[in-house]
Amino acid sequence: MIIVMHADASQEQLEAVVNRVVDAGMKTHVSRGETRTIVGCIGDEARVRELALHSLPGVQDVLPVEKPYKLASREFAAEPTVLPLGSGTVGDGAFAVIAGPCSVEGRDMLVKTARSVKAAGAVALRGGAFKPRTSPYAFRGLGLRALEMLAEVRDETGLPIVTEVMDTRHVSLVSQYADVLQIGTRSMQNFPLLSEVGKSDKLVLLKRGMSATLDDFLLAAEYVMNAGNAKVILCERGIRTFERAMRNTLDIGAVPYLKRETHLPVIVDPSHAAGERRLVHPLALAAVAVGADGLLVEVHPDPDSALSDGDQSLDFSAFANLMHAALAVRAAIQAAPRDL
């Protein structure tokens, strides 16, 4: 249930509404915009209907929210969420590109990559310290040493760090080094982990599970937000289908659907969707064309020698070309008539 306040409602009127809902045993989430303020009510909606809230001063309307995800739904926010990321922002017109290696292999390669992607326009550096791998014999990251290297490179380049956390026991450790906690596709429904990162004050980059519906995806975001952290970025990275030509099938339609259903920023990872570097460029441009708020791209100094995901990683020149093309497509889309 949401309560829409009149544009000229006073702070005292807002507090009276919030107190009435809280006294009925429900939680509230207040979202302020330039033209309206929304009070989201979380709990038994039958209680709200019994409160006669329409009669309270300052209340414009009381509306039900039928979706199972409340905090993540677009109705619960007065305006789209915009989150700070490095020197820029992500969400509602701001475009952010996060780039870097699949896994941190050493300091030298990390520094080179950070400098190159920053020069090309990336606003944050990605790099895996703890890597979930299908085979236990594959390279699974350098752990704490990788986190230390990421922090050192952030100090040197100014790029914020995005890295994956896989275990509730690691959240505190990774939070000491990372600016953005990434929840990978295999962990999207690790509900204890979602709740744990929800207790942090870090941005959370939530990847869609490879077999997850969009409702599943948004409910995973709801877990994080319900634990207290509303700073969530959604990342579409492709899903598993019967098609075997590509590593995954990029659900490009998920982007406009999510932009309609939620106020959270939505970015796309074309690298994991493609599984092949020649496909990363066109998939990335498709994501830009349908309105993604940003991209997550794997970049490596020498992809052919990468210890993980080299086949889908771009070298520095290819990434710079992608950035140039992405910005051109974005400018063309923004210039197009809105009714097309």
pLDDT digits (tens, 9 = 90+) for 178-197: 999 999 999 999 999 999 99
Other beta carbons within 10 angstroms of residue 233's beta carbon come to 27
Q: How far apart are alpha carbons 233 and 86 in whole angstroms?
A: 14
**pLDDT over threshold 60, residue 208:** yes
**pLDDT higher than 90, residue 41:** no
Nearest to 293 by CA among 90, 117, 123: 90
In this predicted structure, the answer to whether residue 136 has a pLDDT above a threshold of 80 is no
* Adjacent-strand bridge partners of 200: none
43: confidence class by pLDDT, cuts 50, 70, 90: confident
Q: What is the CA radius of gyration of the chain?
A: 21
Q: What is the mean pLDDT of residues 59-74?
A: 88
Structure confidence at residue 156 (pLDDT): 96
Residue reference for tokens 């400018």: 331
User: For every residue of 95-128, which 3-state class applies, written as one string?
Assistant: CEEEEECCECCCHHHHHHHHHHHHHHCCCEEECE
Closest CA to 39 of 27, 51, 50, 25: 27
In which band, very low, low, confident or very high, does the pLDDT at 137 lie, cut at 50, 70 and 90? Answer: low
Rounded to 5°, the CA angle 33-36-37 comes to: 80
131, two tokens: 């890597």
Question: What residue has token string 């509230």?
Answer: 28
Cβ-Cβ contacts under 8 Å for 22 (sequence gap 6 or more): 28
Q: Which pTM value belongs to this model?
A: 0.91
Q: What pLDDT is recorded for position 42? A: 84
Q: How far apart are CA 318 and CA 209, in angstroms?
A: 28
301-338 in b/e form (b: 16+ CB < 10 A) is bebeebbbbbbbbbbbebbbebbeebeebbeeeeeeee
Q: In whole angstroms, give the CA distance from residue 262 to residue 234.
A: 10
Do the strands 161-164 and 59-63 form a parallel or antiparallel pair, or are they unpaired? Answer: unpaired
pLDDT at 339: 60
- Domains delineated in the chain: 2-64 (3.30.70.1140), 83-335 (3.20.20.70)
Asked if the model's pLDDT at residue 330 lies above 80, the reply is yes
**DSSP letter (8 states) at residue 78:** S
User: Any idea what DSSP says for residue 91?
Assistant: B
Residue 298 pLDDT class (50, 70, 90 cuts): very high
Cβ proximity of 235 and 268 under 8 Å: yes
The answer to whether residue 236 scores a pLDDT higher than 60 is yes
Which is more confidently placed, 336 or 163?
Answer: 163
Percent of the chain with pLDDT over 70: 98
- Dist. CA 28–CA 37, nearest whole Å: 13
Q: Is residue 338 very low, low, confident or very high in pLDDT (cuts 50, 70, 90)?
A: low
Single-letter code of the amino acid located at 131: K
Q: Where are the beta strands (DSSP E) in 6-157?
A: 27-32, 37-42, 59-63, 83-85, 88-90, 96-100, 124-126
pLDDT digits (tens, 9 = 90+) for 262-286: 999 999 999 999 999 999 999 999 9
pLDDT in tens, 98-112: 999 999 999 999 999
340 pLDDT higher than 70: no
